[in-house]
Structure 1
Amino acid sequence: MTAITTSPDPLPARAARDSFWTRIAAELAESIARGIYPPGQRLPSEHALAEQFGVNRHTIRRSLASLSSQGLLRVTQGSGTYVEEFAVDLVLAKRTRHHQSMALAGMRGALRVLASSTVRATSAQARALQLPARSTLLRLQVLGEAEQQPLHISERFFPLPRFEQLDAVVRETGSITAAFAAHGVHDYTRHESRITAQMPEPEVAAQLRQPAARPVLFVESVNVDTEDVPIEFARAWFAGDRVTLTVTHDE
């Protein structure tokens, strides 16, 4: 009679390996909750954590990736893994101002111009700004920060020649409101905001310092002057793990 041999069942070993990274992720999350690793602190290296828990670096990497996807950690290429520092509640109201939103949150914040150019309006941009097709616009790529942390990145479009010096004022002051005032617009309001969730492009994820696999909040908005004339069309991507958007209707 021929003996029948069976190979060991690999499933228990695989389950054990899987339990290692989930247990380590749970222990690290507990350490973060207890303040052992406070907000903003860099975690020990993957090598150090592997030695601490007696596992290989691949297991540690899987644990850190899980916590990062939950918004507890931020991985900065070439620097390390950090505990996320804060979540900011930004208000989208009839009068939405970055500086005021930061002040209400007890933080300092500013807008930083990353790039500027002159472009021809697409059909969507022309429609939003109530301009003829292919009108000339000023395009600003702007990063919104709080306490040196990126909160949102945006593309903002302004009619030309009305706002031809707006770029220089925003670079100097870090404020769209100040730039509008320098062009004679001393008050403006939000006409509409459209909010959706989406996966970010790699460039957006890199600017927000977040994984490309983590969703962002995408907002399209139009601002108008006191004569109800559109003066800005914006597309903004907000870091979903650092920002809560509150829409108010009391103005």
Structure 2
Amino acid sequence: MFQGKRWEFVRSKIEENIASNSLAPGEKLPNDLELAKLYGVNRHTVRYAIRALEQKGILRVEQGRGTYVVENPTPYLLSAETRLTDNLIAHGRLARRNILSSETIAADERLAKNLQLSIGDEVFSIRTLSFQDEVPIVIAHSYFPAQRVPGLLDEFSGVNSISKALKRVGVEGYTQQWVQINARMPTEEEARLLGMSTSMPVFIKENLDCVDGKPLKFGENVLCASRINFLINFAELKSR
């Protein structure tokens, strides 16, 4: 007989099912009521066990969709030229992108500093939500100096690809000049878009892309921490 709290019993049974592959990575769990009947406990006990497994990074709770076994995180190579979508495809993870917003805004102090503009200058703002295997993985905010890439928003709306849109306005290649990564808890909107709990952390990846030493794009990405592993190639760094 199991010795311990009832929620610990539920937690251990779910962990056993995952370890035996009865519950595979990415698989959806039965709902709370079904699990409560299965293990002879109440729904509150089930939710407590699920919350504990979510905090351990074993389960993920998607608001309005259900609870899933966490997949193996996707390796994300940080390099001067690697793009997230290319990275997902390279690892056999299907990638797609939804456009959340595309508009012209005025540069605030932060954008002006990073893009070497004056406060109030026009900036193209593109906000997207990217998926891997139909699981939301990153909210991407991209900001461009409007005077350097005229027509970018129109081109982007037609191809839904920043790289392709940039080529259409005459920008063939660009590289990341710097990357900064921090972690914090998500806002309610971020958690909703990423299908995750507000109790789980996100990575905040900021980066500056340049062409011929001039700022082209300032990016701020919000990534679900349990779905990404950042990798750094030190051999590439030494060669620079």
- Give the TM-score, by structure 2 length: 0.90
User: Separation in 2 of the partners of 1:76 and 1:60?
Assistant: 16
What RMSD over aligned residues (CA atoms) do the two structures have, in Å? 1.8
Contact 1:98 1:110 in 2 (8 A): no
* Secondary structure, counterpart of 1:101 in structure 2: helix
Q: Does 1:241 align with 2:226?
A: yes
**Which residue of 2 is the match for residue 115 of structure 1?**
101
Runs of 4 or more, structure 1, over 4 Å off, are none
1:165-195 deviation digits (Å, cap 9, x = unpaired): 3234334333211111111111100010111
Partner Cα distance (2:203, 2:162) in 1: 21
1:130 and 2:116 aligned? yes
- Secondary structure, counterpart of 1:63 in structure 2: helix
Aligned match of 1:28: 14
Distance of 2:88 and 2:42 partners within structure 1: 42
**Structure 1 residues 162 and 97, CA gap change in structure 2 (3 angstroms):** same
Larger Rg: 1
Quickly say closer, same or farther: Cα 1:149–1:119, change in 2 above 3 A. same
Trace 1:18-97 onto structure 2 (pairs within 5 A). 19-97=5-83
CA distance in 2, matches of 1:58, 1:135: 53
Q: Secondary structure at the match of 1:235?
A: strand
Q: Does structure 1 retain, via aligned residues, the 8 Å contact 2:62–2:197?
A: no
Is 1:195 the counterpart of 2:181 in the alignment?
A: yes
Deviation at 1:74, TM superposition (A): 2.4
Are the aligned partners of 1:99 and 1:175 in contact in 2 as well (CA < 8 Å)? no
In the aligned structure 2, how far is the partner of 1:175 from the partner of 1:110? 10
**TM-score, structure 1 length as denominator?**
0.87
Residue in structure 2 matched with residue 221 of structure 1 by the alignment: 207
How many positions carry a matched residue from both structures? 234
When structure 1 is superposed on structure 2, of 72-81 and 144-153 the one drifting more is 72-81
Question: Structure 2 stretches of 5 or more lacking a match?
Answer: none
Structure 2 residue matching 1:143: 3-state secondary structure: strand
Deviation per CA, 1:190-215: give whole Å up to 9, x if none: 01011111111111111111111111
- Shift in CA distance, 171/27, structure 1 to aligned 2, threshold 3 Å: farther
Q: Distance in 1 between matches of 2:94 and 2:38?
A: 38
Give the distance between the partners of 1:94 and 1:247, measured in 2 at CA.
Answer: 10
Q: Which amino acid aligns with 2:146?
A: L
Aligned twin of 1:158: 144
Gaps of 5+ in 1: 1-15
TM superposition shift of 1:241 = 0.5
Give, in whole Å, the separation in 2 of the partners of 1:91 and 1:174. 23
Deviation per residue, 1:122-173 (Å, 9 max, x gap): 1111111111222110111111221211111021111113334323433433
Q: How far, CA to CA, are the matches of 1:54 and 1:30 in structure 2?
A: 17
Give 1:79 shift.
3.1
Matched, 1:99 2:60: no
Kindly, what percent of the aligned residue pairs are identical? Answer: 29
1:105 CA displacement: 1.2
| Aligned equivalent of 1:8 | none
C-alpha separation between the residues in 2 aligned to 1:23 and 1:143?
37
